[in-house]
Amino acid sequence: MARLHLFDLDGTLLHGTSAPVEISRQLGLEAETMELDRAISAGRIDPPEYATRVYTLWSELTDAHVKAAFDGAPWLARIRDVWAEIRGSGDYCAVVSLSPSFFVERLLDWGVHAAFGSRFPAVPFVEPVDPAGVLTAAAKVTIADRLCEQFGVGRADCVAYGDSMSDRDLFAAVPVSVAVNADGHLAGLATYSYTGRDLWDAYELARGAR
């Protein structure tokens, strides 16, 4: 039976940062976005409010800024190697993130089968962000179920990789999980824990597990 590997983005594939922070860095607004990251992590704001506030910060955002943020971000090593290995073995891989879809979907060029993020309007913005399109921790499970149906696998065949409490629902829904550079709360919920900067090493932990 094939397996489906589900990867978080912020703090997982990206080391010690989030896509919104890296995008805001291009505009000189990283401090403001880091504060929003702390607020959502502490539960002081919810994902729709977070999205609305970063959307407001990004009034001058262009596609060139997004490309520079993506290209310059501190990615873990060997992401593409892991996804090539997963594909080569007949398994599937996907990224599911609360970060903006226009950033997350760039990972399709790296070989992931599917990439889902919070639905934002195209850059530069001429339309508002719709809070209904913003993903939550629970939405990650819904998307995982949809991907299972698409790829012909079940939850029992899934492996989840994440770093924060936004991954807790998904970790609870699948049998194998890997906490990647995670906070203590999530690490306690995971099958395996990995600290480092190489995705292959995290992947190896769960590679043979069922």
Averaged pLDDT, 75-99: 97
The per-residue pLDDT of the chain, averaged, comes to 96
Q: By the 8 A CB rule, do 55 and 33 touch? A: no
d(Cα 139, Cα 117) in Å, to the nearest integer?
Answer: 10
Cα gap 11→132, rounded to integer Å:
24
Q: What pLDDT digit, counting tens, does each position of 163-178 carry?
A: 998 999 999 999 999 9
174: three-class secondary structure by DSSP = coil
**pLDDT the model gives residue 210:** 60
Neighbours of 120 (CB within 10 A): 24
Hey, is 26 helix, strand or coil?
coil
Superfamily of the domain at 4-15+75-206: HAD superfamily/HAD-like (3.40.50.1000)
Is the pTM higher than 0.85?
yes
Judge contact between 199 and 13, C-beta under 8 A. yes
Residue 187, pLDDT score: 81
**Residue 129 Cα distances to 6, 61, 101, 134, angstroms:** 25, 14, 11, 9
Q: Is residue 5 helix, strand or coil?
A: strand
Whether 146 shows a pLDDT value over 70: the answer reads yes
